């Protein structure tokens, strides 16, 4: 995932340099938008496969555009993520035999940088690709399936933690997209956005199997869901996950943007 971040930062530097060399027309435009698509995750139960086990996702956002080249938006996204060792091609994961799912709710604030000048209602500037970068606050709650039931994992301290991890965290959203006008009031787009989190517990898997003699479980579900391998009970202090990497989640999909007529027609000025 560091590769994606390095590429994004490189492109941002190029885009900023181009902006400094060009005249920029200022105006004020307000938009209301929706995102319809999917969400997925990469972590200990899905180490590298993009779009694996994607689930339906949706979002709404408000975008303020003061310039043909950049915009700012704020919104909320709803999705879910999941992973299952039994679906892996890795023998170690199959042996580990863990699974999880979690709903994701995020509130984000994002800056967009257009490669081309763009504005809804202007036929001359009707298409652009763009980059975005921002900050979000998200909540999650991993659960594991046991029979016909889904059990909350965070309260069980499945790796022998003395203190549970926080279910509300901060992440860095970034990504790429493209958007175009379809009418004088409406634009459509497509977007893909990784979220770099600072937790390794989206899936409740991070470190080692606990020593139940030192930290006995107070709940029988904690004992059962901590070690579901074929040789359960013999893995004390052995690797359960990879604590050296953090988990990621992703939103992707189509966007629909509607121009809001909140102000009078704009006047144009040129910044040198």
Residues in the chain: 272
pTM listed for this prediction: 0.87
Express each pLDDT in 73-131 by its tens digit. Answer: 999 999 999 999 999 999 999 999 999 999 999 999 999 999 999 999 888 889 999 99
Distance CA 186, CA 31 (A): 9
Residue 160 lies in a domain: no
Residue 83 lies in a domain: yes
pLDDT under 70: residue ranges of the chain: 1-26, 262-272
Residue 149 lies in a domain: yes
The domain total for the chain is 1
The domain that contains 132 carries what CATH number? 2.40.160.20
What pLDDT, on a 0 to 100 scale, did the predictor assign at position 9?
60
Residue 149, domain extent? 2-22+30-154+165-203+247-262
Distance CA 252, CA 215 (A): 41
What pLDDT, on a 0 to 100 scale, did the predictor assign at position 162?
85
Residue 230 lies in a domain: no
Residue 121 lies in a domain: yes
What pLDDT, on a 0 to 100 scale, did the predictor assign at position 132?
97
Residue 71 lies in a domain: yes
Residue 225 lies in a domain: no
Q: Tokens standing for 112?
A: 């967009």
What pLDDT, on a 0 to 100 scale, did the predictor assign at position 271?
44
Q: Tokens standing for 57?
A: 């996702």
Residue 233 lies in a domain: no
Distance CA 61, CA 257 (A): 9
DSSP string of 148-196? TEEEE-GGG-TT--SSPPPSEEEEEEEEEEEEEESSSSEEEEEEEEEEE
């Amino acid at each position: 995932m560091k590769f994606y971040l390095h590429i994004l930062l490189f492109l941002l530097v190029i885009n900023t340099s181009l902006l400094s060399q060009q005249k920029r027309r200022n105006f004020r435009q307000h938009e209301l938008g929706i995102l319809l698509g999917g969400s997925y995750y990469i972590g200990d139960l899905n180490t590298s496969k993009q779009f694996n086990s994607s689930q339906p996702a949706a979002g709404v956002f408000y975008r303020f555009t003061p310039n043909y080249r950049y915009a700012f938006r704020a919104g909320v996204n709803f999705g879910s993520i999941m992973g299952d060792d039994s679906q892996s091609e890795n023998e170690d994961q199959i042996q580990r035999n863990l699974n999880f799912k979690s709903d994701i709710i995020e509130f984000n604030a994002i800056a967009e940088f257009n490669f081309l000048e763009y504005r809804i209602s202007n036929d001359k500037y009707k298409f652009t690709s763009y980059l975005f970068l921002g900050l979000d606050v998200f909540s999650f709650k991993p659960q594991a399936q046991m029979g016909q039931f889904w059990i909350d994992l965070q309260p069980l301290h499945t790796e022998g933690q003395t203190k549970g991890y926080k279910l509300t965290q901060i992440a860095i959203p970034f990504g790429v997209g493209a958007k175009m006008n379809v009418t004088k009031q409406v634009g459509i787009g497509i977007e893909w956005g990784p979220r770099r989190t600072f937790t390794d517990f989206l899936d409740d898997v991070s470190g080692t199997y606990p020593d139940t003699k030192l930290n006995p479980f107070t709940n029988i579900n904690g004992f059962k869901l901590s070690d579901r391998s074929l040789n359960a009970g013999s893995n004390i202090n052995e690797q359960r996950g990879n604590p050296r990497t953090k988990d990621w989640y992703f939103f992707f999909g189509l966007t629909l943007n509607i121009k809001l007529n909140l102000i009078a027609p704009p006047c144009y000025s040129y910044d040198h």
